[in-house]
Amino acid sequence: MLKGRHLIDIMDFSKEELDEIFELANEIILKEEDFSKVCDGKLLATLFYEPSTRTRLSFESAMIRLGGKVVGFSEPNSSSVSKGESIADTIRVVGSYADIVAMRHPKEGAPKIASMYSPVPVINAGDGGHQHPTQTLTDLLTIKSIKGRLSNLKIGCCGDLKFGRTVHSLINAMSRYENNSFTLISPEELKIPDYAKKELDKKGVSYIETKNLEDVIGSLDILYMTRVQKERFFNEEDYIRLKDIYILSKDKMAKAGKDMIVLHPLPRVNEIPYEIDSDPRACYFKQVKYGMYVRMALMMKLLGIR
Amino acid sequence: MLTINSIKNGIVIDHIRAGYGMKIFNYLELNKAKYSVALIMNAASEKLGRKDIIKIENNLELDFTVLGFIDPNITIDVIKDEKIYKKIKLKLPDRIENIIECKNPRCVTSVEKNIPHIFNLVDEKTGTYRCEYCDQMYDNLSKYL
């Protein structure tokens, strides 16, 4: 039962609960017009303490397409937060107005605090370099729809694996399905944190770490590219040195299998050149569309509409 | 050889890792005690080489969670009529609340006030704790006490 629940970490939901969401998302994809009024009278609040036009628009489009309405802020300077209001107070106030809340915050664990005080479901729309569960729902629905399965996959994660929250959530989620293995491609400075590796060890999931994308691309079913995020660095010099460390060139794609798919949480900077977009294996814009559908399904479930 | 009298009724906190006695002394606010207290530092120990000991001439209500967190190898002897009435072995607590604050500058606890600071034990063997909010792992969390 997902009604009234929060989504803070993708692991909050069982595999069966995720399947429920994916099934509903598929129904919406097949007959979107049947769902255009199901959230009539419902209000989503988007509390974005750091800018993210893409994720916010995805949530807002999802609610509006379901017939609901949206309120919120897209940067904290225009809200009571700038007056020093705590998260606990903000969520209790907003929870009195809205039926469901999507929160993005630069501090890790902020949506968890919101969920502790909120009278309505809270969805983590990204908290610092920590978790981004609705991106993971998006990634899983994309993989399931295109590859036809969520198990027996070789998944390569490339780029910023230290601060890249989408990668942490994806690895957590995919390691629950049978026989998946991970190839973690990053420079030394952006290696995956120890806690994430400990989790993999504990679950007995196989993974390798490498710095070289070219050497491993031929063995992958999925290549998950990430951007090196400027806002995660305290030091500008480190950012400049690392930002273009992996570029997915045509030469590299030539070494990949014909069924490999390329995913990216977007926005991209230089890591995927435009010339790759026409390659049928490039699926990152399909991913965006799946993201909106899966958020529609998620909000319907948490609101108890289905 | 330093001689400290044995106590009649009270508590002996023994096998404290050398150097941690003062931390416990301060944590229990024994400087404000109105009864006899002895803090013995760097005593010879077969097991530890050197150890600290605290003797308290009073039956205190001790928070074993915090003591276990500071050093799980500590033993506590409850003394009645100059005899050991009870021996208590400590262990690392599964969860600690409001003892330590997370050191991760990106953690929400660095900005949000009036919330409990919580760490959960993830590996007893290595003594690893994880922040409830940001998942930051700590192998030697008690050093921040």
ipTM of this predicted structure: 0.84
For the stretch A106-120, pLDDT in tens is 999 999 999 999 999
Domains of chain B, by residue range, sit at 10-89, 95-144
Instruction: Classify domain A10-131+291-302 by CATH architecture.
Output: 3-Layer(aba) Sandwich (3.40)
A133-288 CATH fold? Rossmann fold (3.40.50)
Ranked by mean pLDDT, the top range of A30-34, A73-77, A84-88, A197-201 is A30-34
Q: How many CA atoms lie within 13 A of B124 on its CB side?
A: 9
Closest CA to A282 of A262, A300, A302: A262
Q: Which two tokens stand for residue B9?
A: 């009724």
* CATH no., domain B95-144: 2.30.30
Chain B from 85 to 124: CB within 8 A of any A CB: 104, 106-115, 122-123
Burial of A234 (0-12, 13-18, 19+ CB in 10 A): exposed
For the stretch A147-192, pLDDT in tens is 999 999 999 999 999 888 789 889 989 999 999 999 999 999 899 9
Question: Of A86, A194, A195, which is closest to B113 when you measure between CB atoms?
Answer: A86
Closest CA to A130 of A232, A4, A3: A232
For the stretch B18-35, pLDDT in tens is 988 998 998 888 999 889
For the cut 80, the answer to whether the pLDDT of residue B8 exceeds it is yes
Question: Of A88, A110, A195, which is closest to B135 when you measure between CB atoms?
Answer: A195
Whole-number Å distance between alpha carbons of A143 and A22: 11
Q: What does the pLDDT average to over A31-56? A: 95
Residue B96's pLDDT is: 93
Residue A80's pLDDT is: 66
Query: With b meaning 16 or more CB within 10 Å and e meaning fewer, what string describes A90-117?
Result: bbeebbeebbbbbbbbbbbbbbbbbbbb
Question: Of B113, B132, B137, which is closest to A195 when you measure between CB atoms?
Answer: B137
For the cut 60, the answer to whether the pLDDT of residue A8 exceeds it is yes
Task: Give the confidence band of A238 by pLDDT, cuts at 50, 70, 90.
Answer: confident
Residue A229's pLDDT is: 81
- Reply yes or no: is the peptide bond before residue A267 cis, omega within 30 of 0: yes
**Among residues of chain A, what percentage have pLDDT more than 70?**
98
Whole-number Å distance between alpha carbons of A121 and A115: 7
How many CB atoms are closer than 10 A to CB B61?
Answer: 4
Query: Does B138 lie at the interface with A, CB-CB under 8 angstroms?
Result: no
CB pair distance less than 8 Å for B112 and A86: yes
Q: What mean pLDDT value characterizes chain B? A: 90
CB pair distance less than 8 Å for B137 and A194: yes
Q: How far is CA A20 from the centre of its chain?
A: 18
Query: Does B126 lie at the interface with A, CB-CB under 8 angstroms?
Result: no
The residue ranking higher by pLDDT, A208 or B142, is A208
Whole-number Å distance between alpha carbons of A83 and A143: 43
| Cβ-contact B101, B108 below 8 angstroms | no
Domain B10-89: CATH class, spelled out: alpha beta
For the cut 70, the answer to whether the pLDDT of residue B1 exceeds it is no
Q: Reduce the DSSP state of residue A57 to 3 states and report it.
A: helix
Whole-number Å distance between alpha carbons of A120 and A281: 40
Closest CA to A158 of A182, A131, A138, A142: A182
Two domains, one topology: A10-131+291-302 and A133-288: yes
| Residues paired with B14 in a beta bridge | B75
